[in-house]
Chains A and B, each alone.
Chain A
Amino acid sequence: MQIKKVGVLGAGNIGIGAVTDLVLHGMSAVVVDVSDEILQSARDAVLSNVRFAPMLQKSLPKISKQEALDRMQLTTNIQDLISCDFVIENVTEDWGIKQAVYEALDRTVPPEVCFGANTSCISITKIASATRRPANVVGIHLMNPVHLKPTVEVIRGFHTSDRTIETLLQLFAQLNKESIIVEDLPGFVSNRISHLFMNEAAFVLQDHVATAAQIDAVFKKCFGHTMGPLETADLIGLDTVVRSLDVLFESYQDSKYRCCPLMRKLVHAGHVGRKAGRGFYDYPKE
């Protein structure tokens, strides 16, 4: 079945990236968030992404602003997801919020529709338990910036069915994305490991072993990574990274996931990374 209309619940960084990708690949997106202000800001960000996409990746099409707008429906009403073929959820990484959202989704969307839970660290099996369709819930870990990343980590929950996996693979085929399917434990593969890097990099900075630029340079120039751990944390948002570390710590009860005090302090100071203009680095306004 060709997927034509996808619901995107949560218009933060990843939600914006998902909508950009859908729109660029000719699909319609119904974007749900809690305020018109957030939705307008997401709309502007998607239009900017769409505009610059072909410059950053030549295989992406040039589409007009009007075409992009025609493929986006912005709404604060979750009921508008009722006609979607698939729903991608990326609300805040907070179990209380996720639980309430999934209960509402489950009541609203037809039972055969599958949900892609885009979570950093929360177990997919736990998320699925908030619904009456655990077989239709699958984990997807979209990477930032979504429309420029060719591969997605897909997480099979305890009850996730083969049909759900097939539906998701169909969606990703339409988005020209490859999937790596892994099993479900908090943080999965990517975040369980990457958050240790980011957290320890913050400890190294806190201990005055090196500057932020030096730490990132070691990863980029010695390891050949595209980005260093601190600039990655800034791009994700330090608030999100701290929340994920807290989930990992809570889930494994392992002190290796205790959050670096410097990172938590930056979050309290409002220096949450690129989106705030300040994090481990400063981002001058254009």
Chain B
Amino acid sequence: MTSESAKRDGDVKGTIKKFLLRSINLPDVEDDEDLFESGMVNSLFAVQLTTFIEKTFGIEIGADDLDIKNFRSLNAATHFVKSKSAATAS
């Protein structure tokens, strides 16, 4: 999926969820489940997730955005991508 199509089809959450499930090898994840506190992944996974988001959605993530709270759950990551995409578009 290209960055444009990932953003255009509006399925940001679905795209991130697919990556998450492929990575953590579990059948499902709750939208607000804390990925790190639940022990599903360790904090190093935040690096993989961040890199995936940058490449898939064409977002440049600056030093100030590199905060684990932005990637803590499926909803948090989705909100982050949408807000960054909106900021870039405006």
Contact = CB atoms under 8 A, between A and B. Distances in A.
Chains A and B form a bound pair: yes
Interface of A: 48, 51-52, 54-56, 62, 145, 213, 220-221, 226-227, 281, 283-284, 286
Contacts of A62: 63
A56 B25 contact: no
B47 A52 contact: yes
Contact of A284 (B19, B46, B50, B63): B19
Given A220-B39, A284-B19, A54 B44 contact: no
A55 B48 CA distance: 13
Most buried by A among B22, B42, B47: B47
Contacts of A48: 47
B44 A56 contact: yes
Contacts of B43: 56
Interface in B1-46: 19, 22-23, 25, 39, 42-44, 46
Nearest to B43: A56
B80 to A, nearest CB: 13
29 contacts: A48-B47, A51-B63, A51-B66, A52-B46, A52-B47, A52-B50, A52-B66, A54-B63, A54-B66, A55-B46, A55-B47, A55-B50, A55-B66, A55-B67, A55-B68, A56-B43, A56-B44, A56-B46, A62-B63, A145-B44, A220-B39, A226-B42, A284-B19, A284-B22, A284-B23, A286-B48, A286-B51, A286-B52, A286-B55
- The interface size bin for chain B is 20 to 34
A55 B49 CA distance: 13
Nearest to B50: A52
A56 B66 CA distance: 9
Contacts of A220: 39
A52 B51 CA distance: 10
Nearest to A52: B47
A52 B42 CA distance: 14
Contacts of A284: 19, 22-23
Which 4 pairs across A and B sit closest by C-beta, in order of nearness? A286-B52, A55-B66, A286-B51, A52-B47
Interface in B39-78: 39, 42-44, 46-48, 50-52, 55-56, 63, 66-68
A54 B47 CA distance: 11
Given A52-B46, A213-B25, A226-B42, 12 more contacts: A51-B66, A52-B47, A54-B66, A55-B66, A56-B43, A220-B39, A221-B39, A284-B22, A284-B23, A286-B48, A286-B52, A286-B55
